[in-house]
Chain A
Amino acid sequence: GQNIDQPTEMTATEGAIVQINCTYQTSGFNGLFWYQQHAGEAPTFLSYNVLDGLEEKGRFSSFLSRSKGYSYLLLKELQMKDSASYLCAVAHLYNQGGKLIFGQGTELSVKP
């Protein structure tokens, strides 16, 4: 089976840095995605990691450690518009394409 854990809620201050963690247990792993979902809107793709290490994309970075079953999403220079739910999702080794197992999401609130 597969199990994905991420914190339910986090609060941070505008301009600060926040790290959202995600741990997973899976019988077969084929990559990890991060999505952002604003209230009432569709999830949007942020990043994909399949190899160990850090991937940087502007203010957002994502890290993966396959041996530890661990990933994090790092958001720098936080802005009010970053208030959203952040979803971690795992792709299974034997499922191509569209089947992802999502975590429950981390609700991030950015305060002024």
Chain B
Amino acid sequence: KAGVTQTPRYLIKTRGQQVTLSCSPISGHRSVSWYQQTPGQGLQFLFEYFSETQRNKGNFPGRFSGRQFSNSRSEMNVSTLELGDSALYLCASSLGGNGSPLHFGNGTRLTVT
């Protein structure tokens, strides 16, 4: 069974630009969650999509947005990039019920200069 696939693996952008990250979940998983990981803050929840609807949202500004397609693939967009957005962005898929373990992709390493 193929795991969670995230593209691209690495990205370098300039302040003010926008970026779109992509995530393909494990086949059959309808939930896709996005997390930001930094050395100082650890893993922080951005949002979760389930059956194309945003089900949960973290405490990030509106510059961070996402969507999910009918095949459960998800994209995350960050507009007006700031230096502080430099981080590892992890996508995780699951069956979506309580207690369902998250299966993480290898992440997209975003560097904002």
Q: Are B48 and A48 in contact (CB under 8 A)?
A: no
Q: Which residues of B contact A33 (CB under 8 A)?
A: 101-102
Tell me whether chain A's interface is mostly helix, strand or loop, or mixed. Answer: loop
Tell me whether chain B's interface is mostly helix, strand or loop, or mixed. Answer: strand
Q: Number of contacting residues on A, CB 8 A?
A: 25
Does A23 interact with chain B (Cβ within 8 Å)? no
Report the bound CA distance from A95 to B35 in whole Å. 15
A-B contact pairs, 19 of them (CB 8 A): A30-B99, A41-B106, A42-B105, A48-B99, A87-B42, A89-B43, A91-B99, A96-B50, A96-B55, A96-B96, A96-B97, A97-B31, A97-B33, A98-B92, A98-B102, A99-B45, A99-B58, A102-B42, A104-B42
Closest 3 CB pairs of A and B: A98-B33, A98-B48, A45-B101
The interface of chain B, by Cβ under 8 A from chain A, is 4, 31-33, 35, 42-45, 48, 50, 55-56, 58, 90, 92, 94, 96-107
